Amino acid sequence: MTQLSVKHLLGIKDLKEEDIQLIFETADNFKTIINRPIKKVPSLRDITVANLFFENSTRTRISFELAQKRLSADTINFASSSSSVSKGETLIDTVKNILSMKVDMVVMRHPSPGACVFLSKHIDATILNAGDGTHEHPTQALLDAYSIKESCGDVAGKKVAIIGDILHSRVALSNIYCLQKLGAEVMVCGPSTLIPRHIEQLGVKVEHNLRKALEWCDVANMLRIQLERQDIKYFPSLREYSMQYGLTIDLLDSLGKDITIMHPGPINRGVEITSEVADSDYSIILDQVENGVAIRMACMFLLANHKDS
Ligand code: CP
């Protein structure tokens, strides 16, 4: 397989295992390149990319921008807070205006699930989903799985527990799809109020006890509580959540086994994970961030070279 089976990167659900393997092989090459003294390649010269962020981001926005610079793309950056969206302009009008300036590729983060799919039906440019509401965050799942492969040797056969606010998490859904396509077993763990009903129909195990989840898994991906998406109280207090589901170094040490700790960020230190754990040898959190640049370079490079067959 030399090209992706998809024209856009809207979600992991649309990808085949071969697509993910091709992205990983391409990311391996780009990771070598970005660790050289001269980090820039001309692969996306004359390609213009618009980064449209309708929701806050640190890692994803900077990582995409850096990946575009490393590939020599021309970029324009749009943040909805400083745009004419605040004057009532619609998503389609905003994007069509930007695209009339001859943009080839759109990277979009939006609070509404399905916003990227909607856009893909109305415009010609290639679209990469940088997170759409509680739906999917495909490049995060790809960099997470790539980091597991790097840390554990392979993804196939590994047991991965995704722990925390599963209900409001686009990272959880994209990770479930990605890890299962690569042959991993997936468990979700959290209070019952933060686990979507019927999630076991996706083929995942469900556990409400943190220690049992940790005893089961090779890799634990800790998610933050997404208070900004919660309109009701799902648990009595952050302190109580932290006592039941906060990952501490004493708990990890008491397991007496190797375990890899991940977090997509942003971290709420002292809530879902202590600083001691986040900064410990168990943690590959900053490796995930580093790998994000190579993964996003690979995704943009492969999509730019996609040809309809
Ligand atoms: N992991 C992640 O998406 O982080 P940001 O919201 O900072 O982009």
Answer yes or no: do 145 and 255 share one domain. yes
Q: What per-residue confidence (pLDDT) applies to 183?
A: 98
| Together in a domain, 185 and 249 | yes
Whether 27 and 168 share a structural domain: no
Q: Is there a contact between 208 and 190 (Cβ–Cβ < 8 Å)? A: yes
214-272 pLDDT per residue, tens: 999 999 999 998 877 777 788 888 999 999 999 999 999 999 999 999 999 999 999 99
- 307 CA distance to ligand 1 middle (Å): 30
Residue 5 falls within a domain, yes or no? no
Closest ligand 1 atom to residue 131 Cα is: 3
CA 25 – CA 43 distance, rounded (Å): 16
Alpha carbon of 153 to ligand 1 centroid (Å): 25
Query: In the β-sheet with 126-132, what is the strand arrangement from edge to edge?
Result: 74-79, 48-53, 105-110, 126-132
Domain annotation covers residue 284:
yes
The protein residue whose alpha carbon is closest to atom 4 in ligand 1 is 59
Query: In one letter, which amino acid is 148?
Result: I
Which residue of 52, 60, 267, 289 sits with most ligand 1 atoms within 8 Å of its CB, as the best mutation to test the pocket? 60
**Domain-embedded: residue 3:** no
- Cα separation, 172 vs 175, in Å, equals 5
Q: What is the pLDDT of residue 309?
A: 67
Which of 54, 59, 64 best tests ligand 1's pocket when mutated (most atoms within 8 Å of CB)? 59
Q: Which residue is closest in CA terms to ligand 1's atom 3? A: 60
183 and 278 assigned to the same domain? yes
**Residues making up the chain, counted from first to last:** 309
Cα-to-centroid distance, 265 and ligand 1 (Å):
6
Q: Ligand 1 — pocket residues by CB below 6 A?
A: 57-60, 131, 137, 140, 264-266
**Does residue 156 sit in the same domain as residue 264?**
yes
Whether residue 152 is found in the same domain as residue 119: no
In a domain, 7, yes or no: no
Query: What's the rounded Cα separation, in Å, for the pair 264 and 162?
Result: 11
Q: Write the single-letter amino acid at 50.
A: A
Atom of ligand 1 nearest to the CA of 56: 6
Task: State the distance from the centre of ligand 1 to the C-alpha of 140, rounded, in angstroms.
Answer: 8
H-helix or E-strand spanning residue 110: strand 105-110
Using the atom order of ligand 1, give the atom closest to the CA of residue 264: 1
Residues 184 and 209 in one domain: yes
Sheet with strand 205-207: strands edge to edge: 205-207, 185-189, 159-163, 219-222, 260-262
* Domain range for 41: 12-137+290-304
pLDDT less than 50: residues of the chain: none
Residues 260 and 183 grouped into a single domain: yes
Domain harbouring 127, CATH code: 3.40.50.1370
Number of domains in the chain: 2
Place of tokens 């850096």: 66
Cα-flanking dihedrals φ and ψ of residue 129, to 5°?
-80, 120
Q: For residues 88 and 18, state if they share a domain.
A: yes
Residue with tokens 């980064």: 51
Q: What pLDDT was estimated at residue 288? A: 98
Verify that 193 and 272 share a domain, yes or no.
yes
Predicted pLDDT of residue 64: 98
State the DSSP code for 223.
-
Q: Quote the pTM value.
A: 0.96
201's CB contacts (< 8 A; 6+ apart) are: none
Å from CA of 137 to ligand 1 middle: 9
| Domain presence at residue 309 | no
Please return the burial class of 60, using the count of CB atoms within 10 Å of its CB with bins 0-12, 13-18 and 19+.
Answer: buried
